[in-house]
Amino acid sequence: GQSLEQPSEVTAVEGAIVQINCTYQTSGFYGLSWYQQHDGGAPTFLSYNALDGLEETGRFSSFLSRSDSYGYLLLQELQMKDSASYFCAVRVLNTGGFKTIFGAGTRLFVKA
């Protein structure tokens, strides 16, 4: 079957760096995405990795290792507003076409 694992919650202090890991077991893997969701809000897209390596977008970076079925989201210079849930999602190709499978999410608490 298809599965993703990420920590249920992470706590860090303002200004620090935090890494949220995601491991996956899927067939037909095409890429790994990250989404952010604030309480009461809808998920919003952060990043996508189709190839191995690190992608940087401002304070956020995302990494993928296809051989290890592993990726992570790195958040630098944490701000209080970064407190949210972060979902990794794999894009796979199956008989029905492309599909996105979401992890259960990691709740990030940023403390002052």
Partner 1 sequence: GAGVSQSPSNKVTEKGKDVELRCDPISGHTALYWYRQSLGQGLEFLIYFQGNSAPDKSGLPSDRFSAERTGGSVSTLTIQRTQQEDSAVYLCASSLVTGQGVDGTQYFGPGTRLLVL
Taking each continuous run of H as one helix and of E as one strand, the counts in the chain are 0, 11
Of the candidates 36, 11, 34, 38, the one whose C-alpha atom is nearest the C-alpha of residue 22 is: 34
Window contacting partner 1 (CB under 8 A); options: 19-27, 59-67, 74-82, 88-96: 88-96
Residue 10 found at the interface with partner 1 (CB under 8 A): no
Residue 86 found at the interface with partner 1 (CB under 8 A): no
Window contacting partner 1 (CB under 8 A); options: 11-19, 33-41, 58-66, 71-79: 33-41
The residue count for binding partner 1 (CB under 8 A) is: 26
